[in-house]
Amino acid sequence: MKLLTIIGARPQFVKAAVTSRALAQVRPDINEVIVHTGQHYDANMSDVFFEELDIPRPRFNLGIGGGTHGQNTGRMIEAIEALLLEERPEQVLVYGDTDSTLAGALAAVKLHIPVGHVEAGLRSFNRAMPEEINRVLTDHVSERLFAPTQTAMANLSREGVDPARTILVGDVMFDAAMHYRERARQPGVAQSRYLEDAGFALCTIHRAENTDNHERLRAILDGLAALPLHVVLPLHPRTRARMQSAGIVAPDRVIVCDPVGYMEMLWLEMNCRIVLTDSGGVQKEAYFHGKPCVTLREETEWTELVEAGVNRLAGADAQRILSAYQALQSADMGTHRNLYGNGDAGECIARLL
């Protein structure tokens, strides 16, 4: 059976690595063809993941990135449709909530090729987020919905999705965190005795609602400056560009570096005191590695973490960021296990395809 996997952005490389490995192990009958849309193209946002996570090289790279949402999605649909007509796969697999996800799903479903959606059913209930639109639409045209959590299953059920199409498999990012943790590597940015002795916080910022609004971005950095420890901030290219154009400079104790590879990110997550992020994946990874998380948004798709008391929503408000940091000092990280499955989500998906 020929399966076309469509990916294009950093979190999708991590997720696809898990399924690709499982496919190679338990489904030798499946011929997986990987297509990279080109949505993320910097070496440290793309190539490093293929090298470190042993993802098979993409057979095709569409080279589509850098445009607006409409431009990217439109150009991707056109290019993916042409590829599907040429390759004629029996199934298509898409991941998460980016423009590559939606474009892949739409191109395939219109050619009557069944689509599997990994990380189905997530909702922020904030339709101003481009990711939310991508998720809702992808879920409703997909044939197989691989949900990571019970909350995601409930969301799909509420939207009237046929239960025969949905299945709770657990979270492939949990599989990844467990599988690769032994390969975690200390990045250069953390090799300072000062950081090692005093401990540090880890921060990532890349959501459009934060990067494209100077006031929010400034408020987040003010919040980081108010914390009583150093903060390591691997900076997403979009955030760096917005900070430069707005003349925003990182505060003294915030140590800015380029995006790091997955193994270095693992090390930072495993060795920091606390995580502050607007990323979906990094919120969960904080939990996987036993670290509390301040979420720099007004809502989260991973509500079970908030309910478990290990994640607090602080928006982009310096005072709320500091208060959340303080409140999380006494968070109980030891209980609430197995929120994200048993580490075999990739294998479940591979068997079900």
Task: Give contact residues for ligand UDP (rule: CB under 6 A).
Answer: 10-11, 14, 204, 206, 234, 259-262, 265, 279-282, 285
SS3 34: strand
**Cβ atoms of residues 39 and 8 within 8 Å:** yes
Shortest reach from residue 149's CB to ligand UDP, in Å: 15
Distance CA 327, CA 182 (A): 31
* Amino acid found at 143: E
Q: How far is the CB of 140 from ligand UDP (least distance, A)?
A: 20
**Residue 89 or 96: which CB sits closer to ligand UDP?**
96
> Cβ 94 to ligand UDP, closest distance in Å?
14
Which amino acid appears at position 185 of this protein? R
CB of 303 to ligand UDP, least distance (A): 16
Give the nearer residue to ligand UDP in terms of CB position, either 298 or 332.
298
CB closer to ligand UDP, 5 vs 39: 39
Least distance in angstroms from the C-beta of 156 to ligand UDP? 19
* Residue placing its CB nearer to ligand UDP in the complex, 10 or 75: 10
Contact of 145 with 161, CB cutoff 8 Å: yes
How far is C-alpha 69 from the geometric centre of its chain's CA atoms?
18
Give the whole-angstrom CA distance, residue 102 versus residue 220.
Answer: 30
- Find the shortest distance in angstroms from Cβ 264 to ligand UDP: 7
Cα–chain-centroid distance for residue 152?
16
Q: Which is nearer to ligand UDP, 58 or 234 (CB)?
A: 234
CA distance 109 to 216: 38
Pick between residue 146 and residue 262 the one whose CB is nearest to ligand UDP: 262
139 C-beta neighbours (distance < 10 Å), count = 26
As annotated, the active-site residues are: 206
Q: Is the Cβ of residue 155 or residue 211 nearer to ligand UDP in the bound state?
A: 211
Query: What dihedral angle (degrees, nearest 10) is formed by the CA atoms of 224, 273, 268, 308?
Result: -100
Place of tokens 């200390």: 186
CB 270 within 8 A of CB 178: no
DSSP assignment of 88-154 equals --SEEEEETTSHHHHHHHHHHHHTT--EEEETTT---S-TTSHHHHHHHHHHHH-SEEEESSHHHHH
Residues 6 or more apart from 99 whose CB is under 8 A from it? 8, 37, 39, 69, 72, 73, 76, 130, 134
b/e code 37-46 from CB counts within 10 Å (16+ = b): bbbbbeebbb
